[in-house]
Amino acid sequence: MSTKTSRRRGAGPLTAALALGTAVAALAVALTLPATRAESRPVPPGAAQQRSRPAPHVMDFAQGLNAPVKQAPSQPQAAGAPVAATADGCDHAYGDVNVCVPWTFPATAGAAPGAGCRWLLAHGYPALAVHGRDRLGLDTDHDGTACDRGDAGATD
């Protein structure tokens, strides 16, 4: 009887380890086998969204309009068509590339000499390098920098 008892005690941990190993192997095989249920198959991208998106609601508010329908131009404007340098309202002869000095100043700026520099400085513009012609007359001392010390309207 003591022999049977000792075998059972020694066989218990061995049997448990064997059963655990078998269960792990069975789980690994189950995870690697292809699924057969429809819910576990992969869904193509966008398919789930298509199912849950409601149909669009089309409003017929334009049915009663009497104006003629405008046709799109037969010749679309070519990309890169020439655009006037003044189209944005900025004189790019002053400051860096992304600085916009207006071609015309507001009437509130005044017309006195230096009014343009006073307006620019009041709106946070720094002294501006002049590239090319000083069309607005901001560089009154002709040193190549507009609205700096020595120019009309600039403060010392």
In a domain, 75, yes or no: no
- Average pLDDT over all residues of the chain: 76
Provide the domain count of the chain: 2
Percent of the chain at pLDDT exceeding 90: 24
In a domain, 47, yes or no: no
Task: Please count the other Cβ atoms lying within 10 Å of the Cβ belonging to residue 115.
Answer: 15
Report pTM. 0.46
Residue 144 in this model has a pLDDT that exceeds 90: yes
In a domain, 151, yes or no: yes
Using one digit for the tens of pLDDT, what is the confidence trace for 76-130?
Answer: 666 667 777 778 889 989 988 888 999 999 888 888 889 999 999 999 999 999 9
- In whole angstroms, how far apart are CA 98 and each of 95, 116, 124? 8, 19, 14
In a domain, 128, yes or no: yes
Name the DSSP class of 72.
P
Range of the domain at 21: 1-35
